Amino acid sequence: MTFATATIPSPTGDLTLIASDTGLAAILWDDDAAMQARYAPRRADPSHPVIAATVRQLDEYFAGRRTTFDLPLDPVGTQFQRDVWRALLTIPYGETRSYADIARAIGRPTATRAVGAANGRNPIPIVTPCHRVIGSNGTLTGFGGGLPNKQLLLALERGEAALL
């Protein structure tokens, strides 16, 4: 399979969108070489229907006009990772959950660290809102796009700023 791709500017830096034949496979920051290597071969195809819909919906999100995404998703991961990523999709816009909350939500209350690891491997950030997961003490914790971008996304969702 060859993945369709497009790179777009965003308030969080350039994002590489990657689509399979069935859905959005990844949103990557340019400095994530390990994840970039997973999605090959690729061809630039900004008119691919999933890529075009993702661009439109991300633009609306960054402008503060979209609170949910309606895209077919095709993330690759273990069953446990996919369970965590599905749980992330249930976190409402503008709200946060702890890693322990996610562990309980997937029926694995002692798997907090494993949830953190799965959250960190989320290939579709922003759309699958891993930025909404924080430490149980309320602190911001790691984010593939960097903590400043996590703060930016959370501020957007609290209505503190439209980014476009």
Q: State the catalytic residues.
A: 130
Number of other CB atoms surrounding residue 5 within 10 Å: 23
Mention every residue, 6+ apart, whose C-beta is less than 8 A from residue 48. 4, 6, 19
Give 50's DSSP letter.
Answer: H
Helix (H) or strand (E) run with residue 118 in it: helix 112-120
**Single-letter code of the amino acid located at 15:** L
**C-beta of residue 29 within 8 angstroms of C-beta of residue 148:** no
Cα 6 to Cα 46: distance, rounded to the nearest angstrom: 5
CA 131 to chain centre: 7
Q: Which two tokens stand for residue 121?
A: 């491997």
| CA dist., res. 164 & res. 78, Å (int) | 35
